Amino acid sequence: MTEDKQIFDGDERAKYEFRDDINAVYETDRGLNEDAVRKISAAKHEPQFMLDFRLESLREFFRHKQPSFGPSLDFIDFQDYTYFTRVSDGVAERWEDVPDDVKRTFDKLGIPEAEKKFLAGVTAHYESEAVYSNMLSEVEKKGVIFLDTDTGLREHPDLFMKYFGKLVPPTDNKYAALNSAVWSGGSFIYVPKGCKLDMPLQSYFRINNKRSGQFERSLIIVDDDAELNYVEGCTAPMYSQESLHSGVIEIFVGKRAKMRYTTIQNWSNSILNLVTQRAIVDEDGLMEWVDGNIGSKLCMKYPCCVLKGDRSHGSTTSIAVAGPGQFQDTGAKMIHIGKGSTSNIISKSIARGGGTANFRGEITIGPKAEGSRAKECCDTLILDGHSYSDTVPHNRVRNSTSYLEHEASVSKISEGQLYYLMSRGLSREEATQMILMGFLEPFSKELPMEYAVELNRLIRFDMDGSQQD
């Protein structure tokens, strides 16, 4: 296989991994330094306090070491990436106003069609910035704010700065500091008190260039008694040289509020996906992460819930599929602070073709979180004799009235199951795919119907020709 060969075969994979020749309106030179950060801030006409924040974050980045856990990241040469690429002069509110070459990309991906069918609002990001943002008028009349993050800073500075960087500060880790220094784009959402959206909001992120970076910064506030369902999709073409994606997501869930954040990450196998996702949940609030990881060369992502309020609840339902040349180091974190708080983690992983799919989880029930409950269940299927999977839980209960349960399994597909299905007329490949779809059902059932169908099609193409050794 050549380095540039697509990992997925067939037209379905090509739907996502095509490349476009698009001329940038503006981009910085390769390299990470103070000059690059100043140019990013100047291009956005940001206030002085944001430039100061970026520069301090850059200094914090150089002070931090690489993570001491997971796959080694020492090979990354941070001076070999382009950190800001602008492909449009502004954020269009009408699809017709998006530049034609960019519009063709999203047309191929079905974004306008999806918007018309079942979305309350959509934002499309290409390279470093949003190129399109729109929301139904009836949703806007409810007081909902749904903008790209750059526009959110300009139009709602007081609300923005009340929350920005408070949950994931630059001091949190090396890649949070990197994002804080060079962030661009992302979603800024505010759902006012008592507002319940019946349809989801969606953002779509596209990386087209090689040796470039995408560093979106999303900030979501769901006020007391409000409800929001947010869906995020990500794709990129396949290159022999990797690109870097390092996003930060901060979510604030109010009292009795409900928030669901769904990610379908289908980056190509030339993307390094290093993301920090964290939500804080007030009393009687609910935060749900639905996290799908199919693509990327290397992925490190651990959605986190800080269950601050009494009786708050957090859940993560995730899948990770690791094929040839892929390292999926994914999982979840639950931090219990409030009394009677509860959490649930369900993780499903598949490793094949020499891929690695690790689960890394952390549950901490604090000394004041009396009467809390937590459950963690992670299952892995290994489809051959040269793929790998490890389960790395780090669980602590610091009071005597709480309960924590952990389950883990690693297995191969049962020959008995295969024999039974094949005796009903299925080929071995068809039987294998049916078993895999059943294995992933706890995740796929949490998706909107359109996304569940698309996910199943993607995984079927990814598994074409998979055989157990």
Domain total in the chain:
2
Task: Tell whether 324 and 435 lie within a shared domain.
Answer: no
Task: Tell whether 210 and 304 lie within a shared domain.
Answer: yes
Within a domain: 73: yes
Task: Tell whether 446 and 297 lie within a shared domain.
Answer: no
pLDDT of residue 107: 59
Task: Tell whether 377 and 460 lie within a shared domain.
Answer: no
Task: Tell whether 434 and 420 lie within a shared domain.
Answer: no
* Measured distance CA(347)–CA(329) in Å, rounded: 12
Task: Tell whether 210 and 315 lie within a shared domain.
Answer: yes
Within a domain: 6: no
* Measured distance CA(438)–CA(424) in Å, rounded: 17
Within a domain: 155: yes
DSSP-assigned letter for residue 430:
H
C-alpha distance from residue 340 to each of 22, 145, 370, 373 (Å): 53, 32, 6, 7
Task: Tell whether 420 and 439 lie within a shared domain.
Answer: no
Task: Tell whether 340 and 421 lie within a shared domain.
Answer: yes
Task: Tell whether 450 and 461 lie within a shared domain.
Answer: yes
Q: Find out whether 391 and 410 touch, Cβ atoms under 8 Å.
A: yes
3-state SS, residue 131: strand
Within a domain: 177: yes
pLDDT digits (tens, 9 = 90+) for 421-446: 888 888 888 888 788 878 888 887 77
Q: How far is C-alpha 8 from the chain's CA centre?
A: 21
Task: Tell whether 65 and 199 lie within a shared domain.
Answer: yes
Within a domain: 238: yes
Sign of CA dihedral 463, 346, 219, 168: negative
* Bridge partners, 365 (sequence order): 336, 397
Q: Find out whether 279 and 314 touch, Cβ atoms under 8 Å.
A: yes
The pLDDT tens digits along the chain (469 residues) read: 233 333 333 344 444 444 444 466 668 889 999 999 999 999 999 999 999 999 999 999 999 999 999 999 999 999 999 898 876 655 555 555 555 555 555 555 555 455 444 445 556 655 554 555 565 566 778 899 988 899 899 999 999 999 999 999 999 999 999 999 999 988 899 999 999 987 788 777 665 655 567 899 999 999 999 999 988 865 444 443 578 889 999 999 999 999 999 888 877 788 899 999 999 999 999 999 999 888 889 999 999 999 999 999 999 999 999 989 999 999 999 999 999 999 999 999 999 899 999 999 999 999 999 999 999 999 999 988 899 999 999 999 999 999 999 999 988 887 888 888 888 888 888 888 788 878 888 887 777 655 666 666 666 655 554 444 4
pLDDT of residue 296: 86
Sign of CA dihedral 440, 360, 237, 466: negative
pLDDT of residue 223: 98
* Measured distance CA(91)–CA(133) in Å, rounded: 7
pLDDT of residue 236: 41
Within a domain: 270: yes
Task: Tell whether 368 and 387 lie within a shared domain.
Answer: yes
186 torsion bin: left (phi>0), alpha (psi -120 to 50), beta (else):
left
- Structural domain boundaries, residue 448: 428-468
pLDDT of residue 239: 40
Task: Tell whether 363 and 463 lie within a shared domain.
Answer: no
DSSP-assigned letter for residue 79:
G
Backbone angles phi, psi at 126, to 5 degrees: -125, 120
pLDDT of residue 104: 59
Q: Find out whether 456 and 464 touch, Cβ atoms under 8 Å.
A: no
Within a domain: 112: no
Q: How many CB atoms lie within 10 A of CB 35?
A: 11
pLDDT of residue 427: 85
Within a domain: 40: yes
